[in-house]
Amino acid sequence: MKKLIQLNLLLLLISSAMAQNTSLQQSSPQEPPKNLRTYDWRDFNVQSTNTNFQIQIVSIDGMSVLKIENTNSPPSINPNYSYPIYKPVEVSLLKITNSVIKKTYWVFCELKFENVWSGLAVDTNELPRFENPRLVRQEEGDLKLLAYFPPSASGGDERIETSDFNVAGTSNWQLRKFAVDRTKFESLPTHLELKLLLPAHGTVYLRPIRLLGVTGSWWSPQQISLLGGVSGSVIGCFGALLGLLASKGKARNFVLTTMKIFIALGILLTIAGFVAVVSSQPYAVWYALLLPGVILTLVFSLNLPSIQRRYDELEIRRMTSIDATGS
C-alpha cells in the first residue's frame, strides 16, 4: 500500500509539472506558420489564349519553375499620339478552391523577372476614347492575388479583394508574400486566384507557390494551463484517497470502480494525444493529453490487481473471523 500511495503522490507531482509547463507555453511566442501546401507547376496546366504569351515549365536549380514570357515587341509609337501603344496580356496562374483556404494566412511567391517593360502608354482597347488624357498612365507588370468573398446579403454581388505587387525592369529572385484577408469581412474567401499582368514585353519566372498558415489549436494556452493545474491536482488527490481507502479495506466498490474509470480515461487521453500529434497540434496540446493519459493508465493498471487482492484478503480474514466467532 505504501507503494500505491507513493505512485499517486508521483502522479500529483508530475501533473503539477504539466501545469507549469503549459503555463510556460502560454508565455512563449506563437508557433511559426506551417507549410500547408506547395503547388508544383508540373501538376498544373497553366495556359493563356493569347498567342503573344508563351508559358513553359523549366528546371532551375533542380526545381520546376514556371516561365511566362510576353513576346510582344516594345510598345510602338503611333505618329498620331505622343505616347506609345502597348498590348497588355493577363494570365490566370493558379486558382485555389479547396478547404485549405480555411487555414491559409499567407500565399508565398518567389519570382524573378527580366526586361519587364514599364512606362507611360495607352492600352489598345482604349484607343477609341483616347481623347481623355486620363487614359495615358504609367503601366508596368503586376502580380496580384484576388480573394473572392460571398455576398454579404442574399442576391448581392460577390466581393473581390485584391493584393498586388509591381513587376518592372529586371530583378533576381525575390519573395512576395500575400496576406489572405481574414478580418475585414465576416466570412473567409470562397476561392483565391493568382494572376500575372505584363503590359508589353518581358519574362517572369515563378517558383512553386506555397500556402502557409497556422494549424488550429484545439485549446488556447490559457485553457491548457487551467486544465493541467485543475486536473493534475484533482487526479493526484483522488489517487491518494483511493490508496488510503484501499489500505484500510474500505469502500471496495467505490475504489475499484473509480480505478477502472481512471484507466479508461487514461486510455482515451492517450489515444487523443496520439491523434493530436498526427494532426500537427501544438506541443502544449498533445503534451497535456499524453502525459496524464500515460500516467493514469500505467499507475492504476499496475495497482488494480494488488488492490483487488488486498480487498480479497481482507474479506477472507473477515469471513474467517466470523466463522471463528460463530464456532
Tell me: the pLDDT tens digits for 136-177? 666 788 899 998 888 776 666 778 888 889 898 899 999 999
pLDDT for residue 282 is more than 80: no
Q: Which range has highest mean pLDDT (48-57, 187-196, 318-327)?
A: 187-196
Which comes out higher in pLDDT, residue 98 or 24? 98
Could you tell me the pTM of the whole model? 0.56
Residues 182 and 100: their CA atoms lie apart, in Å, by 14
Residues 315 and 58: their CA atoms lie apart, in Å, by 82
Helix (H) / strand (E) element for 17: namely helix 2-27
Domain with CATH 2.60.120.260 in the chain: 34-213
Is residue 63 within 8 A of residue 206, CB to CB? The reply is no
Residues 71 and 48: their CA atoms lie apart, in Å, by 13
Is residue 219 within 8 A of residue 263, CB to CB? The reply is no
Residues 107 and 282: their CA atoms lie apart, in Å, by 22
Architecture of domain 34-213: Sandwich (2.60)
Give the phi and the psi of residue 94 in degrees, each rounded to 5.
Answer: -155, 135
Cell 500529434 -> residue = 277
pLDDT for residue 109 is more than 90: yes
Average pLDDT, the chain: 76
Q: What pLDDT sits at residue 23?
A: 47
